[in-house]
Amino acid sequence: MHGRSVRPLVESSSASRDYAYGEWDLNPEHWGLDLKLRVVRTKRYKMTLEVNSGAGELYDLVNDPAETVNRFESDRVVRKELEEMLNDRPSDELKDPLTPSGVQMVGIPHCLHGSNSRGAEILREHGRIETLTD
């Protein structure tokens, strides 16, 4: 298993980490949309990268906390630093998506519930869902 323990962060008020990483993949066979998002966040910046297309968003969270000015194309230096953080992460990508044992995947993931969800909006735009219920 890749990763580091977060125990020091919980047990110490002085411990910290340089950045946080997140990912979200849509299975094209299930959703009809092949979307692989990778996110890296530092104290100052947040960048989201769509792996397949190379499109992305980059925000300066200090000067633009509402994330209204996308600096992905204009701030190449910061973008390169954040991309290096993403690339430094060990690869643990699976060849086949996981399905919980004994559970059939039906409906939409919990994280997409709610009519204001951006994920739900993307799926609605591509005709993959019509309505959502909480």
pLDDT band at 21 (very low <50, low <70, confident <90, very high): confident
Q: Partners of 24 in the beta sheet?
A: 37
CA dihedral 65, 70, 76, 79 (to 10 degrees): 60
Phi, psi for 59 (deg, rounded to 5): -125, 140
> Per-residue pLDDT tens for 84-115?
998 887 666 555 655 555 444 445 455 544 54
Contacts of 98 (CB under 8 A, 6+ apart): none
Q: Is the pTM of this model over 0.75?
A: no
pLDDT at residue 126 greater than cutoff 80:
no
Domains of the chain: 16-98 (3.30.1120.10), 100-134 (no CATH)
